[in-house]
Chains A and B, each alone.
Chain A
Amino acid sequence: MPEIQYPYLEEGTTFDASSLNTRLQTVTDGLNGLTEVSVQRGAFSDQHLSNQGLLAGEDFPASGVAGTTRYSRNISGNHSYTVKYTTWGGNGTYPLVGDTDRNLITDGVVSLEINFGASTIQLGMGNTDKIAGLLVLLNVHLLRTSLVNEEQQTDFGATQGAMTCIQYTTDNVNWFTLRKTERFQWNRTVRGEGQVAINPSQRGKMTSDDQDDVYCNQDISTRTIILPSDLPDPNLAIRGIRAATAVFGAATGSAQTIYLRESNFTVIPLHAGS
């Protein structure tokens, strides 16, 4: 605990300008050496700090889309994807070729992307943006998967699911995956639950449309913090960050599709120590 040393004037001794000046000097020195424990919890309010407070979001673009905020994007409608996952961490080669085995999550109106345009950001408190890291919260609702023929129709055993991940870009063209953010949800087919294929005669009398589609209704959730150490260069100038998805699975057959519904992508830039 920081203490300002103040020797009390004692009864029976005389005090003069010198003794008072000495005591004033100890108080002055103490005030010039305050530490963090000199301050009560809650001493700093938004009236004292910059407009962005401790959310280091000056460079984050505001959103004009209803239901979204400066830091988050929300999707509510049904949307589908056919791009297939091939490689752990993405099939691109940094820095020239971005990943092509996954696509941006979008319903055509709102995309799960926060783009800084020409105003790039650099992570790390040593850089001028003073952003220690990006705290990311991603939730994606996997509605169903679809596979038109082969496995799904012969034995109700298609192994199919969805992958979600977080990507960044430096040029708005090539997007690269942060490998630690890949998450997977398998659909609830017989093989998708880890079983051997069921006897076709036991699966009921489904028509073709019924047996092609399998509903999952499962939330795929990701929580992560993106730090400079997660990037190929800790001082990388990032132009955008987004959520991406792909069909995941070993199923064979044509027109493999995943359908996503409600999704939320929140990115909180933190002014923080470590």
Chain B
Amino acid sequence: MSWKFPARAIKNPEVVAMDDINHNFREVVEEASGALNEHNWKTNAFPERGQLADDAGIVIHNSVVEVNPTTDPDTTPNVQFVQYDRDWQPLNGIEITFNTTGGIVWLIGSVQVSSPLSFSYFGNGGTGRFGLQCALEFNGAILAQSIIGGADLSNDQITVFRPPSPPRIGFQVISTPAPSSLFLTFSTEAIIDVPPGKHTARIVVAPPRATSETVKGATLNNTDKWIGTRELIVTQLLR
């Protein structure tokens, strides 16, 4: 109700017209039916947060899976192994589905990763699959701004040059699109504007794509890379 006076003044000794009354009522009704804005509230109208509903401005959702980092991953509960020759793989146990009236949503993912070099670099050589990529997925779509590592799995590949002689002299990594270590952490975030309705958020990971150099001479082990403790947070910023 951003106006201060009735749109049509009704004064004595004029005849009260039906149209004027309808119009003045309609102004109030329409404004109060979804159009109340910042001009309708007094300064310091809510001096204490206790006067506000819990979800007056923010709604939070979170989902966590814990993994013991000190035991053998082959037998540790909740460890999730990453498969080599698949694209984006959702992390188990932390998908969040929520309903919203629409607005800004802050998505946050935090992940413990184990992604060592392939064992065979110092043996057969040239078979390494460096690192792991991570991203947030919203309603089935990868959020490009959240990708850790190369953004294009079809293009951002590992390229390895290994001097042929003398044997085992070493290798030179020319390009790798993903962070790598026996233990490392990922944090990824995105702030997006979503329409009203039901939505689903997930964290996904993917190993870098193979090239002709990185696959020959070795059998890849799908327990090389694994995911430990992980948490997904969805924060709806409503007002």
Chain A interfacial positions (CB closer than 8 Å to B): 1-4, 6, 8-11, 15, 20, 23, 27, 30-31, 34, 36-45, 47-50, 52-54, 56, 87-88, 125, 128, 130, 132-133, 135, 139, 159, 161, 179-180, 182-186, 188, 192-196, 198, 218-225, 227, 248, 270-274
Does B21 count as interface, using CB distance less than 8 angstroms? yes
B170-206 interface (Cβ within 8 A of A): 180-187, 189
Are the CB atoms of B49 and A50 closer together than 8 Å?
A: yes
A48 with B42: in contact, given A31-B32, A221-B110, A270-B60 (CB under 8 Å)? yes
**Alpha-carbon distance between A1 and B103 when the two chains are bound, in angstroms:** 17
B9-46 interface (Cβ within 8 A of A): 18, 21-22, 25-26, 28-29, 32-38, 40-46
A274 with B18: in contact, given A2-B33, A38-B34, A161-B183 (CB under 8 Å)? no
**Alpha-carbon distance between A27 and B22 when the two chains are bound, in angstroms:** 12
Are the CB atoms of A40 and B36 closer together than 8 Å?
A: yes
**Alpha-carbon distance between A9 and B138 when the two chains are bound, in angstroms:** 50
With a cutoff of 8 Å between Cβ atoms, the chain B residues found around residue A224 in the complex are 110, 231, 233
A194 to chain B, nearest CB (A): 3
Are the CB atoms of B29 and A185 closer together than 8 Å?
A: no
Where chain B touches its partner, the secondary structure class is mixed
**Alpha-carbon distance between A181 and B124 when the two chains are bound, in angstroms:** 38
The size of the chain B interface, using a CB distance under 8 A, is: 67
**Alpha-carbon distance between A10 and B229 when the two chains are bound, in angstroms:** 67
**Alpha-carbon distance between A108 and B160 when the two chains are bound, in angstroms:** 44
**Alpha-carbon distance between A193 and B182 when the two chains are bound, in angstroms:** 5
Q: Pick from B37, B181, B228 the residue with the most CB of A within 10 Å.
A: B181
Q: Which of A34, A188, A195, A227 contacts B121 (CB 8 A)?
A: A195
Are the CB atoms of B62 and A270 closer together than 8 Å?
A: no
Among listed B64-72, B82-90, B208-216, interface-contacting one: B64-72
A39 with B36: in contact, given A183-B185, A222-B110, A223-B110 (CB under 8 Å)? yes
Q: Pick from B57, B109, B185 the residue with the most CB of A within 10 Å.
A: B185
**Alpha-carbon distance between A136 and B66 when the two chains are bound, in angstroms:** 17
A108 to chain B, nearest CB (A): 26
Are the CB atoms of B37 and A40 closer together than 8 Å?
A: yes
**Alpha-carbon distance between A44 and B26 when the two chains are bound, in angstroms:** 24
Given contacts A9-B21, A54-B52, A220-B185, 14 further A-B contacts (CB under 8 A): A4-B28, A4-B29, A8-B22, A15-B21, A45-B38, A47-B38, A47-B44, A48-B41, A48-B44, A180-B229, A184-B228, A185-B181, A194-B119, A224-B110
**Alpha-carbon distance between A36 and B45 when the two chains are bound, in angstroms:** 16
B17 to chain A, nearest CB (A): 10
Are the CB atoms of B189 and A274 closer together than 8 Å?
A: no
Are the CB atoms of B55 and A272 closer together than 8 Å?
A: yes
With a cutoff of 8 Å between Cβ atoms, the chain B residues found around residue A8 in the complex are 22
With a cutoff of 8 Å between Cβ atoms, the chain B residues found around residue A184 in the complex are 69, 112, 183, 185, 228
A43 with B21: in contact, given A273-B55, A274-B61 (CB under 8 Å)? no
Are the CB atoms of B26 and A271 closer together than 8 Å?
A: no
**What mask results when residues 114 to 156 of chain B are scored 1 for a CB within 8 Å of chain A, else 0?**
0011010110000000000000000000000000000000000
